[in-house]
Structure 1
């Protein structure tokens, strides 16, 4: 096989791989929240997915803030090996009626602190809460989060997306109650991002394969063309 065909094939394959890797990483870079069963008026499990976006430091602490305008009467935190969990209860700015009870105080933050190594570089972990009751007539709930690394650096996932504006750099994890409960960061669902990533990745591979096929096809010489 001529050398130029081999080089062309390698370049096309590399470009296709970059398309797949880039699309996948962009879809999973944020701290997100999802739920397999949450629905208005009921109880649900909230799952916070936390990636360590570092090559040499670990995630050692996660603080999740719960909504105070729609507080939960019940908050149960997942107990995890290697992590200490703390729930902070505070007085609410104003009484809030939740179902048959009126709350004057509620759990406002949940903190997981690593007692061992934490979340290693370029890995992720999940932290769960059981909460209820979830409010009626609310499309989405935001859960601002603060992520601390082993070198002391802090990332605040608190930004709110605005209509018509690009997604902020550090969007607050947001749970969409009206839409089948899928992982979200700000107003963009991780599920949708994953689907888009798969389509982009598949498209990149297809383009790469087509390019490879055409690149490796023997070219007819001028003499052959004139026959």
Structure 2
């Protein structure tokens, strides 16, 4: 009887809001987190701001961050903003063949941006911002490769390409879906360790309908527990009366 009651109580606890998320947070690795926060994601959108938020997960602060931009479906008219205490360097590439855009064929694009810390900094979040005149057309995701370097020389890398015959990178390139509602896209890796686990974006806030549904489920489970306890109690009394 005690085992049955304990199992039902555990089921009730699992239904409580936040119980599952708290357990997941406890098992998440403590590492550097990289999040893309776009203000617009429509294919072909103009005047788009992309924020790459890098949060240190280790006492050694990040001092360098390089972002490799797609060249197959390029971002047109890219400019980089340097946060306070950082310098930004933009690399451009001449395309082998002009890429079509709403403003006509494009022959030169930004292919990489490097940010370097120019003064000592404490660990914490830092925003690296890109301004894009024109986003790519089509509904497929836009992929970004990135490398961060901390003051101790450790690196964290996000990429989907590697040398032939070499080990496959533990972390894929960052993917920004076009045509969906804006939401952060996050990947985390243990600082200095290329075998960290990827984590999903933070869950959205609970809605009133979701809270009501959870409360109803908890009440139903509680009622079932009371009925079971009464039945077990009557059975035990009958057994003792024999």
TM-score interval for Structure 1 and Structure 2 normalised by the shorter chain: 0.5 to 0.7
Paired position in structure 1 for 2:203: 194
Give the conservation status (yes or no) of the 8 Å contact 1:175–1:181.
no
CA distance in 2, matches of 1:48, 1:125: 8
1:45 counterpart = 2:49: yes
**Larger RCO of the pair (alpha carbons < 8 Å, separation 6+):** 1
Paired position in structure 2 for 1:59: 62
Paired position in structure 2 for 1:5: none
CA distance in 1, matches of 2:97, 2:144: 19
CA distance in 2, matches of 1:61, 1:127: 11
- 1:60-96 alpha-carbon deviations (Å, 9 max, x no partner): 0111111111222211222311111111112123321
Q: Larger C-alpha radius of gyration, 1 or 2?
A: 2
Stretches (4+) displaced over 3 A = 15-18, 25-30, 188-191
CA distance in 1, matches of 2:199, 2:97: 31
CA distance in 2, matches of 1:181, 1:189: 18
RMSD of the alignment, in Å?
4.3
Paired position in structure 1 for 2:229: none
Unaligned runs of 5+ in 1: 1-11, 161-167, 208-221
CA distance in 2, matches of 1:78, 1:31: 17
Paired position in structure 2 for 1:114: 117
CA distance in 1, matches of 2:78, 2:53: 18
1:150 counterpart = 2:154: no
Paired position in structure 2 for 1:175: 176
Unaligned runs of 5+ in 2: 1-12, 14-18, 162-168, 188-197, 219-235
Listed as ranges, the matches of 1:68-217 within 5 Å are 68-118=71-121, 120=123, 123-159=124-160, 169-185=170-186, 190-191=200-201, 193-195=202-204
How far residue 29 of structure 1 moved from its aligned partner, in angstroms, is 5.3
Paired position in structure 1 for 2:195: none
Paired position in structure 2 for 1:3: none
1:19 counterpart = 2:23: yes
Gap change, CA 1:94 and 1:17, over 3 Å in 2: closer
How far residue 147 of structure 1 moved from its aligned partner, in angstroms, is 0.5
Residues matched between the structures, number: 191
Report the 3-state secondary structure (helix = DSSP H, G, I; strand = E; otherwise coil) of the residue aligned with 1:131: strand
